[in-house]
Chains A and B, each alone.
Chain A
């Protein structure tokens, strides 16, 4: 297993470590997942996400290459902008979900999921070669550690050590935090405000220590999952796989078929035909905790499930037939032999307005 530059910090803090995407990562600290989750919802949490990968695309045809690869319209990203998209194969199956930043003109940085990084890199490279784009694809995973600071107080905590204003939501830019150079991104995976910081791995322990010293609560992968699930963000491997297309996953909004990305014909057809199954968010009406793989009695399957620390009830995402997707539809979830009653809810399950 690979270890991030912050591994020793997690060990010293008494974290439970697990294998994730080939990396040894903290799943929770002695604080516990519920307290870590609530720290992000109410204050400021800090996550080591250095296991995620980075691919840099550079050159006169960098934009053209990315238009071919990424589902979204990459020409809409200004210098200093950020954009979410999916990566599809020719059948429109999802290979990964990604964030891409235009760092400089003709220079883009794409953040990949740890478990897909190698496959994504090979996909980028082989397409650049086979389709003859004048662009270089560079593996930058070794050059960056990544720290996410999330919560209503996150910007305040990070702003206190930045001598210039932090980038706004969905923008990215170079900053200096406590004398450490970072690429700061106004993005996150928790449904709260905050930033994600890309930096030299050698600087990561010092920045982590500074953030913790200023009140950021270390939070592990378990809290990362409960937070993103309440916000109804997808997790690759659960809600997104090669067997799912973006339309059924509810990600048609980040697909611009007119850019001619790989898989766009299949996505266009899926959008026109309507999905055979669609991803919905649901809450249980009573006790129980839905889990990935639980069958939906009326049709379909749960792809993510947990106990929501904020709501105190079981929540999840499930693919169901289109006639069951209306908010308020009652579903029965077969949780290892016990049938639990659930209701389809608006997304997000927790957030502004809930």
Chain B
């Protein structure tokens, strides 16, 4: 995508990560990095998914995405436990750049504290932080 894009149905963390609450199960959230993050990073060439079962903590890094030049932490918008990871990214890490909100999803977590959503931003508020 050429221009910054921030879907309305997502929740955003100021450290450039998004969460999509599963419409069928509010305890499950899909996580990824925003358009801004992938644009700043450049072409993602390596993503080593964490293992299902790993605990994640809100505001703490749970994974890394790497460009040729740099390593970037991915911060968790929610606390919980990883229940699924996007293995397809191992062979196609570029999907994180091409489709950061779709094919570029990183992990799914079972949320331990739904009230943490109150600390997250909607698309407008997140866009406003980008200046």
A contact set with B: CB distance below 8 Å: 16, 27-28, 32-34, 222, 225-226, 287-289, 291, 306-307, 309, 336, 338
Q: Which of A27, A288, A309 contacts B48 (CB 8 A)?
A: A288
Beyond A222-B68, A307-B45, A307-B68, 13 additional contacts (C-beta under 8 Å) are A28-B42, A32-B42, A33-B42, A33-B69, A34-B68, A222-B42, A225-B69, A226-B68, A287-B46, A289-B46, A289-B66, A306-B68, A338-B48
Q: Which of B42, B46, B68 contacts A16 (CB 8 A)?
A: B42
Q: Which of A33, A225, A226 contacts B43 (CB 8 A)?
A: A33
Rank and list the top 8 A-B pairs by shortest CB-CB distance, nearest first: A222-B69, A33-B68, A32-B43, A307-B45, A307-B68, A289-B46, A289-B66, A306-B68
Chain B, interface size: which category? 10 to 19
Q: Which residues of B contact A16 (CB under 8 A)?
A: 42
Q: Which residue of chain B lies nearest to A16 when distances are taken between CB atoms in the complex?
A: B42
Q: Which residues of B contact A288 (CB under 8 A)?
A: 46, 48
User: Secondary structure at chain A's binding surface: helix, strand, loop or mixed?
Assistant: mixed
Q: Which residues of A contact B43 (CB under 8 A)?
A: 32-34
Contact A27 B71, beta carbon cutoff 8 Å? no
B contact set with A: CB distance below 8 Å: 42-43, 45-46, 48, 64, 66-69, 71, 90
Interface centre among B46, B67, B69, B71 (most CB of A within 10 A): B69
Distance of A289 Cα from B45 Cα, bound (Å): 9
Distance of A291 Cα from B67 Cα, bound (Å): 12
Q: Which residues of B contact A28 (CB under 8 A)?
A: 42, 69
Q: Which of A287, A309, A336, A338 contacts B68 (CB 8 A)?
A: A309
Q: Which residues of A contact B71 (CB under 8 A)?
A: 289, 291, 336
Distance of A287 Cα from B49 Cα, bound (Å): 12
Contact A287 B48, beta carbon cutoff 8 Å? yes
Q: Which residues of A contact B48 (CB under 8 A)?
A: 287-288, 338
Distance of A335 Cα from B98 Cα, bound (Å): 27
Interface centre among B45, B64, B71, B90 (most CB of A within 10 A): B45
Distance of A287 Cα from B45 Cα, bound (Å): 11
Distance of A287 Cα from B46 Cα, bound (Å): 8
Between-chain CB contacts (< 8 Å), 8 pairs: A28-B42, A33-B67, A287-B90, A289-B71, A291-B71, A307-B45, A307-B46, A307-B68
Q: Which residue of chain B lies nearest to A32 when distances are taken between CB atoms in the complex?
A: B43
Q: Which residues of B contact A289 (CB under 8 A)?
A: 45-46, 66, 71
Distance of A162 Cα from B42 Cα, bound (Å): 36
Distance of A172 Cα from B68 Cα, bound (Å): 33
Q: Which residues of B contact A225 (CB under 8 A)?
A: 69
Contact B69 A27, beta carbon cutoff 8 Å? yes
Distance of A33 Cα from B94 Cα, bound (Å): 13
Q: Which residue of chain B lies nearest to A308 when distances are taken between CB atoms in the complex?
A: B68
Distance of A226 Cα from B45 Cα, bound (Å): 14
Q: Which residue of chain B lies nearest to A225 when distances are taken between CB atoms in the complex?
A: B69
Distance of A309 Cα from B68 Cα, bound (Å): 8
Distance of A165 Cα from B45 Cα, bound (Å): 41
Q: Which residue of chain B lies nearest to A28 when distances are taken between CB atoms in the complex?
A: B42
- Min Cβ gap B127→A in Å is 21
- Min Cβ gap B97→A in Å is 9
Q: Which residues of B contact A287 (CB under 8 A)?
A: 46, 48, 90
Distance of A338 Cα from B46 Cα, bound (Å): 14
Distance of A34 Cα from B43 Cα, bound (Å): 8
Q: Which residues of A contact B42 (CB under 8 A)?
A: 16, 28, 32-33, 222
